[in-house]
């Protein structure tokens, strides 16, 4: 594949691939130009165009190739690299108002960098070199990498090897001298159809009985045996209607699909885990450490929604009313709180054995846990400010109708000087982001992406260092002879992340 240089060449790179994509019960021949899919492609294209417009923000020089590459393909070499990822993510959220689909692949590459190094260290394998060779190749192509972690899971009380149907978790079904064959499915896959490569990974801690499910490999997105079934999004068929107002954000959207794998071949050179079940939890937790911090992307989307709330307040003639201003302040406070935790996690990164940097896990969990709550409140306040017209507004066709259009323009005016169509457009944007197609990327994805709230609470509990904090209180209270042993949460951090010492909060 020729190296992609900008958004247009990225879109061209998707054409001509033989991919089995189903949407609303139909096999789609030309998915690139399908009106329901194209906005998600446009969102990925913006990640390339941003690198052209703002190279210091969205690109970086690779030590692996010596070339300047897209930041989404970079192996993190310092805390500053992680901070720049966050700044890029917020900017892209501002530019698209949706999910731009490349964070999973970026975080998967970095999690695999340290994990493969430590698998090799224990087992004498060569996964790390294979991974570096793969990264050099995709950096040269400037490709989009999709990460596939979530399995359908079946009976949640049972592990992969205990399921009635083994395909409910993706697993190895055969091997030969050229590679392996995998079957199963990956659910909720962000941007998978818009990717050039898919990296499959385990989704949970595994046991010795789950060896066949302990597999990581890179697969071309158009590989034989892959079937994609496109996910529905609220109000998604509006993109197929005439006009662009009712869609709310006609240019950009996210993308989720289910991937079915039917004996998909993966060559040995693209396999980065093959039965090392004891490292599955390390990979999953390092990935989620990166990815839960990556949810600062929602602050960029939040910026758009806060702007939309301010705009409709202005159009309605009430921008200076005290309760409106208080709501705008609260929305901003919530949005910046998310960003603060995420970027602080990046600043407190530590170097791993492989040389890659891993952000602070506790703050990453706090960031994502905030994301499971605060965007919902920001959306609620925006709907409060917008008013009921957001969901009762007549269609664009009614506005274009020669009989009803003049009536709507007469009765749906706001303050003097505001065009009725502009008022309609901002209301549709708010509807789109809080109830429609892009509510998936802002709200539901905020709840369940990178793990639902309980997953973060478990990690926070493991690292809360309660014993250490109890000793702080006892020391100040003058209590002697009653100190706690070092807490399990601290040893957990060292065991999973292989860091010699996690500094206490005040250091």
Q: Which residues are catalytic?
A: 99, 103, 190, 256, 291, 295, 297, 445
Please, are residues 113 and 120 in contact by the beta-carbon 8 Å criterion?
Answer: no
- Residue 149 to residue 292: CA distance in whole angstroms: 14
Angle, helices 297-315/374-386, rounded to nearest 10 degrees: 10
CA distance 299 to 109: 23
Burial class (CB in 10 A: 0-12, 13-18, 19+), 155: exposed
Taking a C-beta distance cutoff of 8 angstroms, is the pair 63, 77 a contact? yes
Q: Rounded CA gap, 258 and 319, in Å?
A: 43
Q: How far apart are CA 226 and CA 197, in angstroms?
A: 12
69 near 142, Cβ under 8 Å?
yes
- Distances in Å between the Cα of 152 and the Cα atoms of 160, 188, 432 are 10, 9, 28
Sequence-distant (6+) residues with CB within 8 A of 252 are 39, 40, 42, 43, 46, 96, 97, 98, 438
Nearest to 291 by CA among 434, 181, 414, 446: 446
439 Cβ contact list (under 8 Å, min separation 6):
234, 379, 432, 433
Residue 135: its H or E element: helix 127-141
CA distances from 3 to 11, 59, 138, 163, 478 (A): 12, 14, 9, 43, 66
Q: Tokens 């807490």 — which residue?
A: 487
Residue 225 phi/psi, 5-degree rounding, is 100, -5
Distance CA 319, CA 312 (A): 8
C-alpha distances in angstroms, 335 versus 296, 328, 377?
9, 11, 10
Q: Where are the alpha helices (DSSP H) in 143-275?
A: none
What's phi and psi for 358, nearest 5 deg? -115, 130
- Spatial distance between the Cα atoms of 466 and 298, rounded to a whole number of angstroms: 30
Inter-axis angle of helices 374-386 and 361-371, to 10 degrees?
30
């Amino acid at each position: 594949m020729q190296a992609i240089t900008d958004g247009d060449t990225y879109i061209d790179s998707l054409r001509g691939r033989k991919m089995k994509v189903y949407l609303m019960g139909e096999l789609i021949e030309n998915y690139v130009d399908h009106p329901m899919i194209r906005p998600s492609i446009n969102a990925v294209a913006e990640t390339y165009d941003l690198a052209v417009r703002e190279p210091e923000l969205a690109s970086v020089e690779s030590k692996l190739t010596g070339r300047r590459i897209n930041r989404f393909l970079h192996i993190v070499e310092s805390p500053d690299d992680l901070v720049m990822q966050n700044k890029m993510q917020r900017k892209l959220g501002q530019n698209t108002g949706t999910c731009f689909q490349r964070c999973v692949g970026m975080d998967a590459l970095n999690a695999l960098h340290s994990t493969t190094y430590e698998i090799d260290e224990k087992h004498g394998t060569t996964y790390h070199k294979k991974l570096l060779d793969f990264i050099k190749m995709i950096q040269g192509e400037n490709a989009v990498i999709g990460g596939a972690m979530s399995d359908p899971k079946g009976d949640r009380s049972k592990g992969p090897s205990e399921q009635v149907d083994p395909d409910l978790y993706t697993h190895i079904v055969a091997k030969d001298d050229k590679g392996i064959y995998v079957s199963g499915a990956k659910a909720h896959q962000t941007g998978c159809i818009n990717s050039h490569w898919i990296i499959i990974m385990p989704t949970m801690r595994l046991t010795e009985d789950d060896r066949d499910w302990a597999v990581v490999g890179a697969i071309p997105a158009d590989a034989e045996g892959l079937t994609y079934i496109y996910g529905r999004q609220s109000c998604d068929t509006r993109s197929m209607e005439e006009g662009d107002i009712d869609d709310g954000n006609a240019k950009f959207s996210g993308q989720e699909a289910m991937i079915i794998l039917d004996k998909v071949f993966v060559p040995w050179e693209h396999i980065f885990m093959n039965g090392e079940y004891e490292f599955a939890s390390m990979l999953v937790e390092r990935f989620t450490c990166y990815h839960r911090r990556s949810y600062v992307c929602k602050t960029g989307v939040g910026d758009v929604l806060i702007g939309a709330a301010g705009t409709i307040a202005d159009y309605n003639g009430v921008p200076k009313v005290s309760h409106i201003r208080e709501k705008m302040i609260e929305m901003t406070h919530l949005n910046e709180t998310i960003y603060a935790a995420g970027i602080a996690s990046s600043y407190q990164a530590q170097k791993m054995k492989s040389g890659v940097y891993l952000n602070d896990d506790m703050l990453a969990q706090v960031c994502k846990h905030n994301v499971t709550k605060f965007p919902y409140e920001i959306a609620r306040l925006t709907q409060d400010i917008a008013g009921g017209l957001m969901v009762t507004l007549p269609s664009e066709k009614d506005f274009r109708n020669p009989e009803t259009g003049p009536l709507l323009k007469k009765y749906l005016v706001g303050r003097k000087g505001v065009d009725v169509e502009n008022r309609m457009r901002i209301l549709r944007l708010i509807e789109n982001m809080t109830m429609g197609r892009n509510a998936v990327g802002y709200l539901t994805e905020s709840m369940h992406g990178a793990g639902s709230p309980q997953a973060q609470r478990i990690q926070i509990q493991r690292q809360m260092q309660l014993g250490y904090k109890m000793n702080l209180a006892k020391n100040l209270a003058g209590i002697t002879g009653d100190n706690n042993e070092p807490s399990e949460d601290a040893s957990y951090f060292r065991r999973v992340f292989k860091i010699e010492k996690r500094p206490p909060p005040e250091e």
